[in-house]
Structure 1
Amino acid sequence: MDIECDAVVVGAGAAGLSLALRLARPPAGARPVRTVLLAAPPGPMRTARRTWCYWEDGPGPYDPLLTASWERLRARARDGSTIDAALAPLRYKMLDSDAFEDHVLRTVADGPWVTTVEALAEQVGSVPGGTRVRARRPDGSPLTVHARWVFDSRPPSRLPPARTTLMQHFRGWFVRTRRPVFDPGTVEFMDFRTPQPAQGLSFGYVLPTGPREALVEYTEFSRRVLGRDAHDRALTDYTGRVLRTGGHEITACEQGVIPMTDGDFPRSTAEGVFRIGASAGAVRPSTGYAFSAVQRQCAAVAAALHAGRHPLPPPAHSARSRFMDAVLLHALDRGRVDGPAFFTRLLTRVPAPLLLRFLDGRTSLPEDLSLGRHVPVAAMLGSALALPFTPRRDRPGPDGDTPRPTTPDAPTAP
């Protein structure tokens, strides 16, 4: 079976859904774009349910879908000292991927411009006169989609060569406790009372949805990825020894691995074939956040398509942000800075709204320079001077292969 359209969006994670949503609702006077959204059928290639977190200044378009949001942030140093901060005018928001997917698919189905097809893309490339996607439906029948443009949100099979690649790996338990132990008005942003690995850093992360309910995560930044059992042991220690939750029920789990890398992700792989989302560098290398960057990138692509312009996705983060992230990753990986002490210092000395805007890549040069007063200058300068002499190379994963991201769009943890 063949389908003709203007654009194909491959993958129904955060990036694919976000772009499809914008193309389904062209603004008045805009050029409509006939689009096919290829969503992987249920199975191992489908994006697992997960939680996306981000922050916004006031109300946002997805507020009706939120699981929870918070106006306060808390962090804890290794010695247990507490940092409490108000986030106004920002709000920290928690969005369930299933709620977002249901919203997008309902919106798409109500309009004429986007058609959702359940099929697994097997081959994507350019052909004379446009692009072609070969896919396979759940019943095994082949499907070919011809279009002018393809926007591929699938994770790449290999990470780009990089000077530094750390893996952010996390596992979270949705817990329900027997007694009220959580503060539903405050997100526990980084809790460094976890045992620290020899290289990198670890922290706990708590997203409370009520006095007795929360998503509790254990996160590490390191070269090697822990297995499920090791993550569960860390979560058992964190919920019991640190949080003292007492008896609790685990109602669901989520797990992911996010590459934190200074590699250069290509935004186009062939004529008319573009990458979007994490596969186009939307993940902030120093933190793993991506959802806000995905929204900015997809909004720019949709605006270009609706205006009839060339729709090359813009860089998700500025050159200045990418350079600062490369310096920090190098310093963390080489042991030049103590990770928990570094982030605790920032959280203690920088106003929380400014720090969150910095983590989102939305600060000005003067603001970035003001933050620079609170970092270990000698260590960061040493890494900055070392970067030009550090070769880019592939980094082996835990099984000896180049690591492949298993969280293709946006993480829960920072």
Structure 2
Amino acid sequence: MADYDVVIIGAGAAGLTLAHRLGQINDRRDPPLRTAVLEPPPGPHTPPRRTWCFWEAGPGPWDHLLAASWEDLSVIGPDGAEHRSPAGPYAYKMLRSTDVDAHVRASAGAAVEFRPLFVRDTEDGPEHATVRALAPGGEHLRLTARWVFDSRPPGTPQGGRTRLLQHFRGWFVRMKDDAFDPAAAVLMDLRPPQPAHGVAFGYVLPLSSREALVEYTEFGREALTTAEYERALTDYCERSGLHGAEVTASEQGAIPMTDARPRTRVGRRLFRIGAAGGATRPSTGYTFSGTARQTAAVARALERGRVPVPPVPHRPRHLAMDAVMLRALDSGRVAGADFFTRLFAANRLGDVLAFLDGDSRPPREFVMGLTTPVAAMSLSTADHLWYSLRSRVPAPSREGVSRRGRGVSR
């Protein structure tokens, strides 16, 4: 008999949401699913505190933990023009990772165990998978489970043609006087200087009339140094009229944006979830909503006694459109600031958010596409289709070519 029914590696957004859902299943299941969540012991390997932002229509399961939410959203173009339109039926929401972590630990139940371990490797098997780990005191442990879900951050993505990063640094700022409208957020401000390829923008998420998260973000091939982010944030705060802002905390990170398709199943009993399992939407870097859908599907499968293969939570046509957009940005065919300004200026914000979260319909997507730089996007679409076709045709083997006497290297 295996030590556990389920082992979850990592206690980030994916690991915590899956543990939370398994705790809910256990409330109505006898016997419960014996679950272990493996996370690094407190110290230098502990993941930094994060904010997780997403949007959804109506009330949601995490509303009681929200740090803030906004229904009044705007986008600011490079010329300073503000584009504001109804975001309904969506509200933009922010969670703090510490709040989610505390809630899941307190509510998951006795069958969900959190264990501070350094995971070394995993091994698949016909009846169970094995996780080898190191305890804080140096003891080598071997844990077995019917199913193992690995949510650790992915390495360099394999395959794909375009590999960008959404890289960012944010400041939590406090002003001496009222400076923010707590009900209104700036989703994308395209006034910062733009890179040659990709896009740069800031955004402002108010937490009160005097506090906000101010973030600088780029889509590009390489992250900046902390000093470069600091200069960009200082410039953006000055540009936004936030003079004398006191920085109370910061966050920094990088999210892969790629057309590579990660596998969610890597063995008979080994799976990847979260960003490692393709939950990130390639065109935006947003991951929390995709992770929520993915872990919900896993939990349903486990409750019904099925093989819990995590689905990729994005439709193929949306992933194809994302691949075209990433290629257009990376190649320089479109200027990122122009692309996003056109998109948000000509469409209801709610329609754009529906597309970015996979809720849109093809007719609306077609109309939306006509508001972007059509010629450049059409060329990138043709380029992507040609590349896709070529990549599906197997290359002739060296032996086959040599028999024909063509192009043979000696």
- In 2, the alpha carbon distance for the partners of 1:337 and 1:128 equals 49
Q: How does 1:145-160 map to 2 (within 5 A)?
A: 145-160=143-158
How far apart are residue 137 of structure 1 and its match? Answer: 1.6
- Cα pair 1:23 1:113 within 8 Å, conserved: no
Give the match for residue 201 of structure 2. Answer: 203
In the alignment, the residues of structure 2 paired with residue 143 and residue 7 of structure 1 have an alpha-carbon distance, to the nearest angstrom, of 16
The aligned residue for residue 228 of structure 2 is 230
Q: CA deviation at 1:42?
A: 1.8
How far 1:366 sits from its partner (Å)?
Answer: 2.2
Which stretch of structure 1 is more off in the superposition, 275-284 or 19-28?
A: 19-28
Q: Which residue of 2 aligns with 1:138?
A: 136
> With structure 2 as the length reference, what TM-score do the two structures score?
0.91
Q: What residue number does 2:377 align with?
A: 380
Tell me the equivalent position of 1:399: none
SS of residue matched to 2:67: strand
Aligned to 1:100: 100
- The one of 301, 324, 329 aligned to 1:304: 301
My pick for the range that moved more, 292-301 or 140-149, is 140-149
8 Å contact 1:3–1:144 — kept in the other structure?
A: no
* Residue 367 (structure 1) shift: 2.4
Amino acid at match of 1:203: F
Query: Is the 8 Å Cα contact of residues 260 and 286 (structure 1) preserved in structure 2?
Result: yes
Query: Greater shift after overlay, 141-150 or 167-176?
Result: 141-150
Q: Which residue of 2 aligns with 1:403?
A: none
CA distance in 2, matches of 1:71, 1:127: 48
Q: Secondary structure at the match of 1:284?
A: coil
Gaps of 5+ in 2: 392-410
Q: Secondary structure at the match of 2:228?
A: helix
RMSD over equivalenced CA pairs, Å: 1.8
TM-score, length of structure 1 as denominator length: 0.90
**Residue range with higher mean Cα deviation, 156-165 or 384-393:** 384-393
Tell me the equivalent position of 1:76: 76
Give the alignment of 1:259-298 within 5 angstroms.
259-298=256-295
Matches within 5 A, 1:2-401: 4-26=3-25, 28=28, 32-108=32-108, 111-240=109-238, 242-390=239-387
Three-state SS of the structure 1 residue aligned to 2:123 is strand
Report SS of the residue matched to 1:210.
Answer: coil
Structure number with larger C-alpha Rg: 2
Note the C-alpha offset of 1:58. 1.3
What amino acid is the match of 2:346?
Answer: R
CA distance in structure 1 between the partners assigned to 2:218 and 2:314 by the alignment? 23
Which runs of 4 or more aligned residues in structure 1 lie more than 3 Å from their structure 2 counterparts after TM superposition? 27-32, 388-393
Question: Which moves more between the two structures, 11-20 or 191-200?
Answer: 191-200
User: Percent same amino acid among aligned pairs?
Assistant: 49
Larger RCO (CA under 8 A, 6+ residues apart):
1
> Are the structure 2 counterparts of residues 3 and 272 from structure 1 closer, same or farther at C-alpha, using a change threshold of 3 Å?
closer
Q: Structure 1: 5+ residue runs without aligned partners?
A: 394-414
C-alpha deviation, 1:141, in angstroms? 1.6
**Number of residue pairs aligned between Structure 1 and Structure 2:** 389
